[in-house]
Amino acid sequence: GQNIDQPTEMTATEGAIVQINCTYQTSGFNGLFWYQQHAGEAPTFLSYNVLDGLEEKGRFSSFLSRSKGYSYLLLKELQMKDSASYLCAVRDADYKLSFGAGTTVTVRA
């Protein structure tokens, strides 16, 4: 099984940078995903890492260290619309996703 930890809540100011950490313990690893979920809506895909290093996609970047069981999602130039929950998910060898409880990010003006 998987054990995935991420902070419950984070608050940041519009225009700032926020880093959401995710640590995991896994019996089999086949990739790490980040999803964004606005209140009352479905999760939507943000990023995918399977090799160590940084993946950049516009204002969002995701980093993975497999040896440390660690990932982070970096949100730059924060906007009010970035207020949402961010879900870290690990895919196992059977291609099943296990999700962390999610980090609620609140962006203040």
Partner 1 sequence: IAGITQAPTSQILAAGRRMTLRCTQDMRHNAMYWYRQDLGLGLRLIHYSNTAGTTGKGEVPDGYSVSRANTDDFPLTLASAVPSQTSVYFCASSEGSGSGTDTQYFGPGTRLTVL
Under the binding rule (CB under 8 A), the answer on residue 95 touching partner 1 is yes
Q: What angle do CA 48, 99, 39 make, to 5 degrees?
A: 90
DSSP 17: -
109 burial class (0-12, 13-18, 19+ CB within 10 angstroms)? exposed
Q: Which is nearer to partner 1, 43 or 78 (CB)?
A: 43
Binding string, residues 1-20; x marks residues near partner 1 by CB under 8 A: x-------------------
Q: Which is nearer to partner 1, 32 or 75 (CB)?
A: 32
What is the footprint of partner 1 within residues 29-88 (CB under 8 A)? Answer: 31, 33, 41-45, 48, 87
- Binding interface with partner 1 (CB under 8 A): 1, 31, 33, 41-45, 48, 87, 89, 95-102
